[in-house]
């Protein structure tokens, strides 16, 4: 099996839910693991209804409002420094961001991504109706009060809007609803994408958007990556050609987890892993 050498989903100590591991510490670990191109993707959540819960970043160990751009200035300063420092070691370091898509925040998202020189803008659905479906604690509140067909309608309509917003380079963990939805709905939730996701993939292909293979599901006890094998096959069939691989590391030991297996999955479908630079996808040979 060919080793995967890129990790395009890493949360350093700027994310409120991440371990206090610095950008530099991740770089040392990346070299140890034989990675050659990595991208930091700190969280950005802008839903005003959830402002007291997650409209924060961490700057020098202190929680600050995401709208206090000092954290972004510092984030770019630190990334620029490691880019120079680790170049001789053969490690490329990219500046990315993982934005939780929330209807109505498009202008704010646009302002941030246009004002900073991001290499990679990853879009994610973490919340539906202002409830974090990504959270073990909060998600029952959502899943227990909705039918499966409602979950399907909600999730895929938000996904479509997110894709059509044109703000994002790639979509993170596209079937995240499986993570905690499975305990409420059982295996029935594993197939709700059928018929809903194909037209969205076609739109993503038309826009040359990327799709992430996110390996974090395996460490959470799920049997498949985000997305599942069936969804990867549908993406390929619908013409999606750009794929990235990410561990979604929130701590040092999670960096690079299961990347080889994700790489093998891409190879199985003749799909190509990509890296990004200045928001352009480049096939990673
Ligand atoms: Zn995420
Ligand atoms: Zn993440």
For residue 168, give the CATH number of its domain.
Answer: 3.20.20.140
Domain assignment present for 150: yes
Contact predicate 240/211, CB 8 Å: yes
Residue 93 CA to ligand 2 center (angstroms) comes to: 17
CB atoms within 10 A of CB 215: 28
Q: Taking the C-alpha atoms of 248, 106, 110 and 56 in order, what is their torsion angle to the nearest 10 degrees?
A: -50
pLDDT of residue 285: 76
Domain assignment present for 20: yes
pLDDT of residue 4: 75
Closest-approaching ligand to the CA atom of 246: 2
With a cut of 50, which residues of the chain have pLDDT below it? none
Question: Which residues are within 5 Å of ligand 2 (an ion), measured at CB?
Answer: 98, 248
Residue 213 CA to ligand 2 center (angstroms) comes to: 12
What is the Cα–Cα distance from 193 to 200, expressed in whole angstroms?
10
Closest-approaching ligand to the CA atom of 39: 2
Pairing mode of beta strands 127-128, 37-45: unpaired
Closest-approaching ligand to the CA atom of 10: 2
Domain assignment present for 146: yes
Pairing mode of beta strands 210-214, 242-246: parallel
Residue 98 CA to ligand 2 center (angstroms) comes to: 6
Domain assignment present for 1: no
Residue 241 CA to ligand 2 center (angstroms) comes to: 22
How many domains is the chain built from?
Answer: 1
pLDDT of residue 1: 55
Residue 245 CA to ligand 2 center (angstroms) comes to: 12
Residue 217 CA to ligand 1 center (angstroms) comes to: 11
Which two three-digit tokens encode residue 38? 């990595």
Domain assignment present for 98: yes
Residue 88 CA to ligand 1 center (angstroms) comes to: 31
> Residue 141 sits in which domain range?
6-283
Domain assignment present for 88: yes
Which two three-digit tokens encode residue 14? 């700027």
What is the Cα–Cα distance from 245 to 103, expressed in whole angstroms?
26
Which two three-digit tokens encode residue 98? 């993982």
Residue 124 CA to ligand 1 center (angstroms) comes to: 6
Closest-approaching ligand to the CA atom of 172: 1
pLDDT of residue 2: 64
């Amino acid at each position: 099996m060919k080793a995967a050498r890129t990790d395009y989903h890493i949360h350093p100590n700027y994310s409120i839910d991440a371990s206090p591991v610095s950008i530099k510490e991740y770089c040392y670990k990346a070299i140890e693991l034989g990675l050659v191109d990595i991208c930091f993707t700190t969280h950005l959540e802008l839903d005003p209804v959830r402002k007291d819960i997650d409209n924060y970043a961490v700057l020098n160990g202190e929680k600050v409002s995401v709208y206090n751009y000092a954290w972004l200035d510092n984030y770019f300063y630190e990334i620029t420094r490691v880019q120079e420092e680790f170049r001789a070691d053969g490690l490329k370091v990219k500046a990315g961001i993982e934005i939780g898509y929330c209807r109505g925040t498009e202008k704010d998202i646009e302002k941030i991504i246009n004002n900073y020189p991001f290499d990679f803008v990853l879009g994610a659905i973490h919340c539906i109706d202002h409830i974090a479906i990504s959270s073990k604690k909060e998600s029952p509140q959502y899943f227990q009060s909705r039918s499966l067909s409602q979950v399907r309608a909600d999730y895929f309509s938000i996904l479509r809007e997110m894709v059509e917003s044109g703000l994002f380079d790639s979509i993170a963990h596209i079937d995240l609803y499986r993570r905690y939805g499975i305990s409420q709905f059982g295996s029935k939730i594993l197939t709700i994408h059928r018929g809903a996701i194909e037209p969205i993939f076609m739109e993503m292909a038309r826009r040359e958007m990327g799709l992430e293979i996110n390996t974090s599901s395996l460490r959470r006890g799920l049997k498949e990556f985000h997305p599942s094998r069936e969804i990867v096959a549908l993406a390929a069939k619908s013409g999606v050609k750009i794929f990235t691989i990410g561990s979604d590391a929130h701590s040092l030991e999670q960096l690079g987890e299961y990347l080889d297996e994700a790489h093998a999955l891409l190879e199985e479908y003749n799909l190509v892993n990509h890296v990004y630079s200045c928001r352009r996808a480049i096939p990673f040979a």
